Amino acid sequence: MTEPYDCTECKESLFGLKYILKENNPYCVKCYDDLFSNNCEVCQKLIGCTSKDLSYKGRHWHSECFLCITCSQSLVERPFATKDDLLMCVECYSSEYSSKCHSCLKTIMPGSRKMEHKGNSWHKNCFTCNRCQQPIGTRSFIQKDANNYCMPCYEIQFAPQCVTCKKPITTVGVNYRDQPWHRECFVCIGCKQQLAGQRFTSRDDFAYCLDCFCNLFAKKCAHCTAPISGIGGTKYISFEQRQWHTDCFNCKACSASLVGRGFLTCKDDILCPECVTDS
């Protein structure tokens, strides 16, 4: 004698009937569908246990309802994409939403590798150097006149040559008197420190920092013997082949400034009229 085998939900006998086990509990087909089956996203009808249930991100479809929203082709066992929760085959999605290759103008299919730069996209094999036609990939490149160039080709075709080292300048350089330098090559001819970003001057076509220029070529103050650069509008006093900083042009006796005043000389000294009278 067999033991009774009943539906867990309705308690009807399952003897000789089709049933489904869920967590080791038996259910008749009707009760299982009522309790556990999902409704189709498209037709809203129940997806019974005898039908194939296709699910994606918590939503469910009959296999015959799992179609591209645009061309109505079946998406069963085919790649697909979604837009605003609507299913689309890859071809329709690409045609409407995928970016176009800036070179060949063909669609860049979802999932394929693409290169992007300044809002434009390329197939990997279309992103090539305009000169050598080799794929650029992830290598460094420079864009000029809407064309892309790998670094070696750009240097050969466009980069200016540094006056000092004769090598191409591919980053920010320095222009002086219509000649280009690397920043690190534009240095004082005397002390070799870089001149980019600081004041400098030149003599006989050579560039000098202010310190070197003053030490080599500037006149010396008759009082303090320090160089008088005269660069940048610096004022100084000149008298009988001698020069003074304005701050150094003072009476030898009383140290009063003689700038804009009359003065007398006594050998190598300069004196104000009052100190001459007192003496």
Helix/strand/coil (H/E/C) assignment for every residue in 12-49: CECCCCCEEEECCEEEEHHHHHHHHCCECCCCCCECCC
Chain centroid to Cα 147, Å, comes to 18
Give the chain's domains with CATH numbers.
19-95 (2.10.110.10), 98-155 (2.10.110.10), 159-217 (2.10.110.10)
Q: What is the pLDDT of residue 279?
A: 62
Q: What is the pLDDT of residue 1?
A: 36
Pairing of strands 19-22, 25-28: antiparallel
Burial class (CB in 10 A: 0-12, 13-18, 19+), 68: buried
Q: From first to last of the 279 residues of the chain, give the pLDDT tens digit.
A: 356 689 999 999 988 888 888 888 999 999 998 899 899 999 999 988 888 989 998 899 999 999 999 999 999 998 888 888 889 998 888 877 778 888 898 888 777 788 888 888 899 999 999 999 999 988 999 898 889 999 889 888 888 889 999 888 877 889 988 899 999 999 999 999 999 888 888 888 889 998 888 888 878 888 888 888 766 556 788 888 888 888 899 998 888 988 888 888 888 888 888 888 766
Closest of 219, 216, 255, 223 to residue 234, by C-alpha: 219
pTM exceeding 0.85: no
